[in-house]
Amino acid sequence: MSRNGLAAAFAATAVVLLGLACTAAAAAVTLQTGRSLIPVGGGSPVLYNATRDTAITTQYIDAWNNMNGITYLWGSTAPDFTYGLGEASPYNPAEKFRTLLRFDDAHSYVPADAVVQSAELTVTFINYNFDPVLVQACFMTRPWAYQGGPSYKTVGWAFSGWDGSASVPWTQPGAWADCSPNVNISFVLPSNGAYGYVSQTIALDPASVQAWLPSNGSANYGLLFR
Ligand SMILES: *[C@@H]1O[C@H](CO)[C@@H](O)[C@H](O)[C@H]1NC(C)=O
Ligand SMILES: *[C@@H]1O[C@H](CO)[C@@H](O)[C@H](O)[C@H]1NC(C)=O
Ligand SMILES: *[C@@H]1O[C@H](CO)[C@@H](O)[C@H](O)[C@H]1NC(C)=O
């Protein structure tokens, strides 16, 4: 069973299909941890290791954790690296679990003059329930931390991160208000009562993925799932 959730993000792959502005050539770039990718400037292949994910939750949310809940950071759910996902945990309907996901350094592998023609994201979920689950996602509009900081003061239900001296609050707890309403992604995740694992490939808005590339990826904020 996934950690306290209806379904869990498990492994993610983004495929960005490109048209190069100055040539007729089309190309595809696949961002997945562990893949070897040729950098934009050429040279030797580099091991891509910049998939960033974090789960924010209302689990045990209370004054002692600054109303930030329990956050599952990179590596904290080893060895399976799953996160809970759902707006109501089966164990406690008041608990919400959301997952932030981004592909850092995409700009290092996709040329700045490339036109993103299409993009898709493949995520493996675990759904042992016998009911399908509605999953929603959206493109984040601000940065967020994906790893440690002072306990209960960095990324979580209340905060997007820690700026070195203070917590940076989300616009509203739960981060959904910091997600663009311009593109709403939703899909119904089937169940797999026998094995749990369900892979889903989701089309991503090309213009929103294009916005991950300029200025060395300074607006590459990724996605939020709920
Ligand atoms: C990939 O990144 C993680 C987290 O930063 C690190 O712990 C791990 O050692 C890296 N793996 C490789 C093969 O560089
Ligand atoms: C996305 O959802 C929000 C909130 O439900 C809504 O205000 C917005 O119009 C939707 N956007 C699109 C493009 O449908
Ligand atoms: C991107 O980073 C490179 C290498 O650090 C730097 O030379 C370049 O000026 C940066 N470009 C932008 C637009 O920030």
pLDDT digits (tens, 9 = 90+) for 8-26: 444 566 676 665 444 445 7
**Residue 205 within any structural domain of the chain:** yes
Average pLDDT of the chain is 88
pLDDT digits (tens, 9 = 90+) for 49-88: 999 999 999 999 999 999 999 999 888 888 878 888 989 8
Distance CA 135, CA 127 (A): 12
Within the chain, where are the H helices? 206-210, 214-217
- Give the distance (Å) from ligand 1 centre to CA of residue 20: 31
* Residue appearing with tokens 């959206």: 138
Which residues sit with their C-beta closer than 6 Å to ligand 1?
A: 47, 49
Task: Tell me which residue range forms the domain holding 95.
Answer: 12-225
The reported pLDDT for the residue numbered 16 is: 67
**Residue 2 within any structural domain of the chain:** no
**Residue 6 within any structural domain of the chain:** no
The count of structural domains within the chain is: 1
**Residue 7 within any structural domain of the chain:** no
The reported pLDDT for the residue numbered 193 is: 77
Conformation bin of residue 174: beta by default, left when phi > 0, alpha when psi is -120 to 50: left
**Residue 45 within any structural domain of the chain:** yes
Q: Is the CB of 193 under 6 A from ligand 2?
A: no
Distances (CA, A) of 216 to 40, 114, 202: 12, 14, 25
**Residue 5 within any structural domain of the chain:** no
Confidence of residue 3 (pLDDT cuts 50, 70, 90): very low
- Give the distance (Å) from ligand 2 centre to CA of residue 169: 23
Confidence of residue 108 (pLDDT cuts 50, 70, 90): very high
